[in-house]
Amino acid sequence: MNRIYLDNAATTPLDKEVIAEMVKVMETAYGNPSSIHAQGREVRTLIEKARKTVAGLLNAVPAEIFFTSGGTEADNTAIRCGIAAFGIKHAITSKIEHHAVEHTLTNLLKQGVIDKLSFVNIDAKGNVDYAHLEELLQNNERSFVSLMHANNELGTLTDMERVGDLCETYNAIYHCDTVQTMGHYIHDVKKLKAHFIVCAAHKLHGPKGVGFLYVNHGIKISPMIYGGAQERNMRGGTENVYGIVGLAKALEMAYAEMEQHQAYVQDLKTYMISQLQAEVPGITFNGEVAPENSLYTVLNVSFPEMDMADMLLFNLDIQGISASGGSACSSGSNIGSHVLTGIQADPNRPSVRFSFSKYNTKEELDIVVGKLKQLVAQNVTA
């Protein structure tokens, strides 16, 4: 069976050029980057070259880039260490953030590190209520704001510049989870006014287990992971050299191909929307779908009430189609999607997140829509 992979928001296949770059390092550069001998210096040079590449693409300086094990560690470091550095007692987030953010903040509240956690209002499509955000910033002491750039289940985009301007006005610290959008949009940190943004390489055809945290040079935080002096004393532990090299290569390619990639993938998404509307009665879409308001790689589809609704993903899998019912971090959970709950989606209607990459084709989408048409026709509740 030739499987069709439409779960790219969970993880993307490695690009062959990224693999080649990593293999070259694996075969020739085995020294410990903390060692002062020639082999160690060779590997240290690779890490710093990767840091310079990432910084250049973000219009940052290399000293603002810290490599991590991925997006979750980067989010945790930004939130925990950012709040601690400034003694902040009030945090603002939303009900539809990734669990790496939501669970971290609720844990800090439970521990008494922060005294108050406010949730900004969002509408039925996952859009932030900016007037309410300003109200929360106005009526509380200095705040820590954590709002993601694009929701990982809905695709709805938040205006980072607008949030950054509000945070600047009210002297708030701004962290933005950019895991889903890094490499898909230009992130110019000189314009964004965010104190922290994050990356997970496996969301942009890079390796798993590596990411980075951008920390604005105007602030200083302490490490979350202590150990050696790696990452300029900001993250203990021997660096994932192959992963770091792969991350830099993947991000470099993403920026080089961004315009072409965005046009191609947006066309796939637009095509699938039109085909679903034409072929599958009763479907609606969760989140924004207009290109200017929605991440072009993500489409969340709500299907009519049906018998065996909880088996829709399983049936798609049997048919050779890989998709997701929500955030991949919740796979196998019976709790359901906190994001769909947060936008008050109908709990009786099954939803599927389809997420696309440069490797998908319209021919694949025709097959998927055909299978969905059959499954819905067989199982819709009378």
Q: Which DSSP string do the residues of 16-30 spell out, in sequence order?
A: HHHHHHHHHHHHH--
The secondary structure of 151-216 as a DSSP string is: -TTT-BB--HHHHHHHHHHTT-EEEE--TTTBTTB---HHHH--SEEEEEGGGTTS-SS-EEEEE-
Catalytic residue among 167, 176, 199, 329: 329
Note whether 172 and 145 are within 8 A (CB).
yes
Phi then psi dihedrals of residue 113, to 5 deg: -70, -40
Whole-number Å distance between alpha carbons of 276 and 286:
14
Backbone angles phi, psi at 251, to 5 degrees: -70, -40
Name 157's Cβ contacts closer than 8 Å, sequence gap at least 6. 149, 150, 181, 288, 293, 294, 295
Give the pair of three-digit tokens for residue 328.
Answer: 């991949």
Cβ-count burial of 256 within 10 angstroms (0-12 exposed, 13-18 middle, 19+ buried)?
exposed
Active site residue 199: no
* CA quadruple 33, 256, 200, 163: dihedral sign: positive
Query: How does strand 321-322 pair with strand 4-5?
Result: parallel
Indicate left, alpha or beta for 154 from its phi (over 0: left) and psi (-120 to 50: alpha). Answer: alpha
User: How far is it, in rounded angstroms, from Cα 309 to Cα 326?
Assistant: 14
Core vs surface per residue 136-149: b (16+ CB within 10 A) or e: bbeebeebbbbbbb
- DSSP secondary structure letter of residue 14: P
Q: Which residues are catalytic?
A: 329
